[in-house]
Amino acid sequence: MAEFQKIPMKTPLVEMDGDEMTRVIWKMIKDILLLPYIDLNTEYYDLGLENRDKTNDQVTVDSAMATKKYGVAVKCATITPNAARVEEYHLKEMWKSPNATIRAILDGTVFRTPILVRGITPFIPGWKKPITIARHAYGDIYKNTEAQVPAGAKAELLVTKADGTEEKYPIHQFDGPGIIQGIHNTDKSIASFARSCFNFALDSKQDLWFATKDTISKKYDHRFKDIFQEIFDQEYTEKFKQAGIEYFYTLIDDAVARVIRSEGGYIWACKNYDGDVMSDMVATAFGSLAMMTSVLVAPDGTCEYEAAHGTVQRHYYKYLKGETTSTNSVATIFAWSGALRKRGNLDKNQDLVDFADKLEAATIATIEGGIMTGDLASMSTLPEIHKADTEGFLRAIDENLRQML
């Protein structure tokens, strides 16, 4: 096997390891596709659930602060524990989503775009171009406070102003037991979300759609709508006109109908929860959740790359039993390539940028050459298909990569 001159890295990128099957794939990708070719320079943080529990989730905060320091991070999929996971892993408490913690610290916008390959036809036949989901990555239910309340309780929203005066807003008088939650957002975060979306649209020369439910949420959602419109009118109207692109606002239910009828080729900006749900819908409709790039872009340009899917729990349990798995690693590969490309661009390391480009090209060429994991094999229209296991797929990519280097 030919030896390659390893590409040096001047500045580290932050590496956030994760959980379950994606953790297994993470190591395979490094061993097979990265370490033979790159003198990999990372600052490593173990965001596996056991270590988050051991450190009382401080490791998540530390990884986010390191990302702010170095400007680029790559993250493996992680478990957000529910009650069942607390019992399974014997956790001290039900830790919050690490993604939500990192996004709150970086105050960025998540852009998710499907990876299109020949032979994988979208489930919605009219979709011809990628649809990028821009997800606001701060606040709402991901930074909520919630409680179960007993019968007879009265819930009120209390705002204590800086001068000590208070305003109360009635929420509900509970005749029986129930639940309540408080959510928030800030004008600053919404404004940075808006500018990130407008700038991304200009950079990619694509129309930008934005949608909320302002007819029902006349203060909360309407504030999103107003801030977007104010910033667009004051800062971006002329820029969009010169670029030949449009900004379009509508209600979220109307947006869904329009998206289904469209051919794609635009950015759809969504509030945090809407973006969480719609990015999964778009990814699945284009073919697979494992075929979706995801990058968190902070206002200062800091970027955190990750796969858009979860930890692939079902495959992990098969793996633990010694059974063969055929787990799609494409989105995780593209998380690494995205982070390496960004690091290379920041450090003016063209060799690293070129490697990232070739790694993506080799991945797509492998699939279009008929070698793919089971999820893609079940939907591919290629005449000849070879279903590869998890490691075999990565080995096939490596063969194509070596021919390109």
Reading the block at residue 174, the tokens are 């509970």
What is the rounded distance in angstroms from the CA atom of residue 120 to the CA atom of residue 286?
Answer: 8
| pTM for this predicted structure | 0.85
Helix, strand, coil % over all residues of the chain, rounded to 5:
45, 20, 35
- Residue 2 has what pLDDT? 61
- Which is more confident, 110 or 404? 404
Which residues have C-beta within 8 Å of that of residue 257, sequence separation ≥ 6?
Answer: none
Confidence of residue 138 (pLDDT cuts 50, 70, 90): confident
The DSSP string of 78-134 is -----HHHHHHHT-SS-PPPHHHHHHHHHT-EEEEEE---TT---SSTT--S-EEEE
Q: Is the pLDDT of residue 49 over 70?
A: yes
- Residue 4 has what pLDDT? 82
Q: Is the pLDDT of residue 241 over 70?
A: yes
What is the rounded distance in angstroms from the CA atom of residue 335 to the CA atom of residue 290?
Answer: 11
Report the percentage of the chain scoring pLDDT > 90: 86
Give the pLDDT mean for 218-222: 97
What is the rounded distance in angstroms from the CA atom of residue 264 to the CA atom of residue 268?
Answer: 10
Give the pLDDT mean for 393-400: 98
3-state secondary structure 147-211: EEECCCCEEEEEEECCCCCEEEEEEEECCCCEEEEECCCCHHHHHHHHHHHHHHHHHHCCEEEEE
What is the rounded distance in angstroms from the CA atom of residue 128 to the CA atom of residue 174?
Answer: 50
Q: What is the DSSP letter of 277?
A: H
Residue 44 three-state SS: strand
What is the rounded distance in angstroms from the CA atom of residue 27 to the CA atom of residue 6?
Answer: 18
Give the pLDDT mean for 348-373: 97
- Which is more confident, 1 or 160? 160
Residue 267 three-state SS: strand
What is the rounded distance in angstroms from the CA atom of residue 172 to the CA atom of residue 190?
Answer: 28
Q: Is the pLDDT of residue 247 over 70?
A: yes
- Residue 325 has what pLDDT? 97
Give the pLDDT mean for 203-218: 95
Residue 332 three-state SS: helix
pLDDT tens-digit readout, 279-323: 889 988 998 778 888 999 888 889 999 998 899 999 999 999 999
Rounded mean pLDDT of the chain?
94
- Residue 246 has what pLDDT? 98
- Domains of the chain (ranges; CATH) run 1-112+300-405 (3.40.718.10), 121-144+184-286 (3.40.718.10), 145-182 (no CATH)
Answer yes or no: are the C-beta atoms of 138 and 103 closer than 8 Å: yes
- Residue 297 has what pLDDT? 87
